[in-house]
Structure 1
Amino acid sequence: MKLRKILAAGLVIGLGILSLTACSSKAGSGKEDIIVATDSDTAPFTFTNKNNKHTGYDIEVLQAVFKDSDRYNLKFETTDFDSILPGIDSERYQIAANDFNYNEDRAKKYLFSDPISVSNYAIVTKSGKAYDSLDELSGKSTEAIAGSNYAQTLENWNDKHPDKSPIQVNYVSGDTGFSSRLQDLEQEKIDFIFYDQISSSYAAKDQGYDFAVTPLKDDVGSSKDGLEYFLFAKSDQGKELNSFVNKRLKELQKDGTLVKLSKKYFGGDFVSSLDNK
């Protein structure tokens, strides 16, 4: 009987210690961790610097958004591009930041922030060749990530022009970096790359390629094309975060922070035309 009482008392004390430890851990952290998923391979939007720290336009914008927050503690995690949105689905991540553009399929599943930058579509070619319309790409080859806006735009052109030689789209996995596609272009394994003007110009210059980056003159897609967003889950937490981020984005656009970061990473103002009022 005494032994039962001793064991029972020990159990109560043990549970009490565990409870106090849990409370202490919660009180110690205080803030809610918000994990941002990024592939860290889409410069100048998101990449790692020489000290292996997350940086880039998207990263610094979020750091400015959450600066001095008394509720949220921001963390960044690098993962394959293909794993970002499934991670949002599973609630492993709370924000997706990776130069995400709008498309209807994503809009069915995710919440979009207010746009944080705007960039033209562009066609990247070796110096001496320049294309500024999709018609000129007929019969030529490229590489693109399946499901991306860039791939879908080329696929739509093929569907609408069955009488012409299709644009040859070779699909690559999400963990195939943009630098790999630039190398394939340099080695003439493909004829062009269809991407956004900001990333293309930055990457070509950063890696020392003599490429032509020509803005697309065609009016393709919708008014949302070229706009960049953060993505959130369609959950109560996602709605709260989206509201918080959008409020701060308006403040950062008004006080000039977005313009400053745009010039720092893009070399120009790619935000003042955004209608985030």
Structure 2
Amino acid sequence: MDRRSYLKTVGGAGAAAAFAGCLGDGGNGNGEDGAETITIGSDIPYPPFEYRTEEGELVGFDVEIAEAVFAGELGYEYEFQETSFDGIIPSLNNGNFRVIMSAMTINDERAEEVDFSDPYFTAYQTVLVLDDGNITSKEDLKGTQVGVQKGTTGEAAAEGLQEEFDGDLTIESYDQITGAFDALLNNQVDAVINDNTVSAEFANENDEVVFLEGEGEAAAQGDDAPPYLTLTIEEYGIAFRQDDDEFRQEVNDALATIREDGTYDEIYNEYFAA
């Protein structure tokens, strides 16, 4: 595949949000001015959705959407709390934070444990490979090792591919996606299966890797398919405990408002190519 710019360069200034310790009142606290503070569980780093700048500032698409929704529309203070993705739903249900906002795909399995907001982002599971390697099609993945992040839909997509190949695929799961990316660069895995936007951010920064080409699920469903193989089509949502319906409706209303008034598009265009 020819090198191309997969994502628009990420803007420098994002909304700042502080990390918070575990709050003992179900994930809510009060700010200095007495306003309610919403704690947000998130797996960090996961650029371009949530990550730190060199100066330590937390930025990203999810961070700016949180600013627009929780602060701008609903008038809450908010804090991001870093947590491992593979344990993030139990942590939510244990009351460690109020919501999850971590590029989380809405699916039936998760919906048995949490309630989701309306979708706020569409993503695809895709495959990154080395540019000078021998993998040029999905069929070439048979008999290889692929890297994924634990507990993610990328891991689930790899398991689906493993089943399609009658078990002839080895899956290496990492605590964070950065571990899978590093393994690819170090030839410890042959490919990485992960969300397209996060993989695109990595590909833009590393000339050694490219997306695996091919027509996949997006093309099959008639979507405006990206120019690379798509294993799944997914929608991201904000996750809530199942007894938090009133707050979830507030957030859904706020998401609808920022879509209608153009705020969502402004944030989207800051992080992603048109």
Give the TM bin, normalised by the shorter chain.
0.7 to 0.9
CA contact (8 A) 2:128 2:191 kept: yes
Which of 250, 261, 271 is the matching residue for 1:244?
250
The structure with the larger Rg is 1
Normalising by structure 1, what TM-score? 0.75
The aligned residue for residue 115 of structure 1 is 119
The aligned residue for residue 11 of structure 2 is none
Normalising by structure 2, what TM-score? 0.76
CA contact (8 A) 1:123 1:132 kept: no
Which of 235, 247, 250 is the matching residue for 1:227?
235
Relative to structure 1, the CA distance from residue 117 to residue 184 in structure 2 (aligned partners, 3 Å threshold; closer, same or farther) is same
How many angstroms does 1:215 deviate by? 5.8
CA contact (8 A) 1:202 1:266 kept: no
Deviations 1:146-193 (A, max 9, x none): 43211112212333442xx522101223xx3x2222221111111101
Which of 255, 259, 265 is the matching residue for 1:259?
265
Which of 164, 168, 171 is the matching residue for 1:169?
171
How many angstroms does 1:70 deviate by? 6.2
How many angstroms does 1:203 deviate by? 1.8
How many angstroms does 1:233 deviate by? 0.7
- Consecutive unaligned residues in structure 2, runs of 5 or more: 1-28, 224-231
Relative to structure 1, the CA distance from residue 28 to residue 200 in structure 2 (aligned partners, 3 Å threshold; closer, same or farther) is closer
Supply the RMSD in Å over aligned alpha carbons: 2.7
The aligned residue for residue 199 of structure 1 is 198
Higher helix share: 1
Deviations 1:27-68 (A, max 9, x none): 974322210111221000011123322210001001001234
CA contact (8 A) 2:128 2:211 kept: yes
CA contact (8 A) 1:121 1:215 kept: no
Relative to structure 1, the CA distance from residue 70 to residue 168 in structure 2 (aligned partners, 3 Å threshold; closer, same or farther) is closer
Partner Cα distance (1:156, 1:27) in 2: 45
Relative to structure 1, the CA distance from residue 193 to residue 28 in structure 2 (aligned partners, 3 Å threshold; closer, same or farther) is closer
How many angstroms does 1:230 deviate by? 1.2
SS of residue paired to 1:42:
coil
Partner Cα distance (1:27, 1:117) in 2: 29
Partner Cα distance (2:165, 2:181) in 1: 27
Deviations 1:194-215 (A, max 9, x none): 1121111112223x34211236
CA contact (8 A) 2:30 2:37 kept: no
Which of 155, 167, 183 is the matching residue for 2:159?
155
Structure 2 residue 220 is matched with structure 1 residue 212? no
Letter in 1 for 2:174: V
1:24-173 matches, within 5 Å, as 29-68=33-72, 72-129=76-133, 131-133=136-138, 135-162=139-166, 166-173=168-175
CA contact (8 A) 2:147 2:184 kept: no
Relative to structure 1, the CA distance from residue 200 to residue 73 in structure 2 (aligned partners, 3 Å threshold; closer, same or farther) is same
CA contact (8 A) 1:145 1:151 kept: yes
Relative to structure 1, the CA distance from residue 213 to residue 157 in structure 2 (aligned partners, 3 Å threshold; closer, same or farther) is closer
CA contact (8 A) 1:122 1:215 kept: no
Relative to structure 1, the CA distance from residue 228 to residue 216 in structure 2 (aligned partners, 3 Å threshold; closer, same or farther) is farther
CA contact (8 A) 1:40 1:47 kept: yes
Give the aligned length. 235
How many angstroms does 1:26 deviate by? 7.5
- Consecutive unaligned residues in structure 1, runs of 5 or more: 1-24, 269-277
SS of residue paired to 1:252:
helix
Letter in 1 for 2:208: D
SS of residue paired to 1:99:
coil
Letter in 1 for 2:233: D
SS of residue paired to 1:119:
strand
Relative to structure 1, the CA distance from residue 124 to residue 113 in structure 2 (aligned partners, 3 Å threshold; closer, same or farther) is same
